[in-house]
């Protein structure tokens, strides 16, 4: 499972972020970059967005990423990864590595990310749901991955 998770994070550039605010769910498409252990994610957002406002009141999130893997027959199959976790804001001034890592993967976002209203957000996973098929769904915690 570790290979599926890291494979999806390495190859997929976009995801759907789910937040909650005032009892209402909210989803957003985000540009993602694996960071740190390859299991954490970073994304950028403006401060004046619903997602940022939601995250300042409730840092719990779900991130859905759809990717592919090659099965034993050499055919591409879908894998859907959901990360359940929480977020922390990353200071761009104090963490240039995060900014440069995200810009390297998403160079088209440079003017957006250098805006004074832009912040970087770190997603810290607690658990993962890996869906390989309609009847092949597996749940793992970060501890499960660290022990393999």
Cα–Cα distance measured from residue 73 to residue 91, given in angstroms and rounded to the nearest whole number:
45
Mean pLDDT in residue range 107-118: 90
Residues 6+ apart with CB under 8 A from 108: none
pLDDT of residue 6: 83
Contact 3, 70 (CB under 8 A): no
- What's the domain range around 62? 2-146
Mean pLDDT of 35-57: 91
pTM score of the predicted model: 0.90
Question: What is the residue-averaged pLDDT of the chain?
Answer: 90
Residues in Cβ contact with 17 at an 8 Å cutoff, skipping those fewer than 6 apart:
27, 28, 29, 30, 43, 51, 61, 62, 63
Q: Residue 88 sits in a domain of what CATH number?
A: 2.30.110.10
- Please count the structural domains in the chain: 1
């Amino acid at each position: 499972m570790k290979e599926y998770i890291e494979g999806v994070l390495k190859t997929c550039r976009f995801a759907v972020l789910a937040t909650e605010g005032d009892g209402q769910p909210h989803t957003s498409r985000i540009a993602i970059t694996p960071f740190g252990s390859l299991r954490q994610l970073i994304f950028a957002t403006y401060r004046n967005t619903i997602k940022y406002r939601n995250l300042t009141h409730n840092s719990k999130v779900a991130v859905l990423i759809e990717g592919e893997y090659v099965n034993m027959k050499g055919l591409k199959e879908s894998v859907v990864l959901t990360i359940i976790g929480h977020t922390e804001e990353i200071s761009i001034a104090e963490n240039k590595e995060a900014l440069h890592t995200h810009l390297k993967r998403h160079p088209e976002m440079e003017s957006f990310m250098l805006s004074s209203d832009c912040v970087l957000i770190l997603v810290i996973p607690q658990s993962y749901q890996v869906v390989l098929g309609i009847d092949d769904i597996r749940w793992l915690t970060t501890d499960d991955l660290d022990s393999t």
